[in-house]
Amino acid sequence: MLFVCLGNICRSPTAEAVFRKRCETLMLDLSFDSAGTSSNHVGETSDPRSIRHAELRGYSMTHRARQIQNEDFDLFDLILTMDDSNFGNVMEMFEAYSKSNPGQGLSSQKIMKVTDFCQRAELDHVPDPYYGKAVDFELVIDLLEEAAEGFLQVLHKK
Ligand code: 4NP
């Protein structure tokens, strides 16, 4: 599964780390990666604030930022975006790609918002913490842990 945010230095690499750890604990054989819609931070390690807050909860973040590319639509069965803006940008890119590759049977249903898996949260997106404070980075992890639980429940019911 691929997680997507804007810069790929805060939310989506955190999502990758949280989902990886939760799924690995259950010995689920899934692959995890993340990417940004923008190229602004390509090659950078994750934001030190994200790394620190994740570490406090036992998650390790070693990702280097990259930009989402068309190949990702072939490689991943599930692409989870963080907010409406990421979702819209990824959908736009997907529509253009699937139009130019009509025979491949690509489905836009594999593109969702990660919060679609949240069952209790009042928010329908993971807010961008980049200009925020510690509580904003904590909220990112709260939402992603809830989403990971919801995702595992959906898997369990299948
Ligand atoms: P992310 O956060 O999309 O969660 O990685 C951001 C990181 C950088 C910027 C914005 C959001 N930026 O404007 O540089």
130 CB-near residues (< 8 Å, 6+ apart):
7, 10, 47
| Residue 14 near ligand 1, beta carbon < 6 Å | no
- What pLDDT shows up at residue 101? 87
Mutating to test ligand 1, I would choose from 3, 4, 6 the residue with most ligand atoms within 8 A of its C-beta, which is 6
Distance between Cα 141 and ligand 1 center (Å): 15
- What pLDDT shows up at residue 149? 96
Predicted TM-score (pTM) of this structure: 0.97
Give me the count of residues in the chain.
Answer: 158
| Ligand 1 atom, smallest distance to 8 CA | 5
Q: In tens digits, what is the pLDDT along the chain, a chain of 158 residues?
A: 999 999 999 999 999 999 999 998 888 889 999 999 999 999 999 999 999 999 999 999 999 999 999 999 999 999 999 999 999 999 999 999 999 988 788 899 999 999 999 999 789 999 999 999 999 999 999 999 999 999 999 988 87
**In angstroms, what CA-CA distances link 5 with 36, 38, 42, 80, 157?**
5, 9, 13, 9, 28
Instruction: Provide the annotated active-site residues.
Output: 5, 11, 128
End-to-end CA distance of the chain: 17
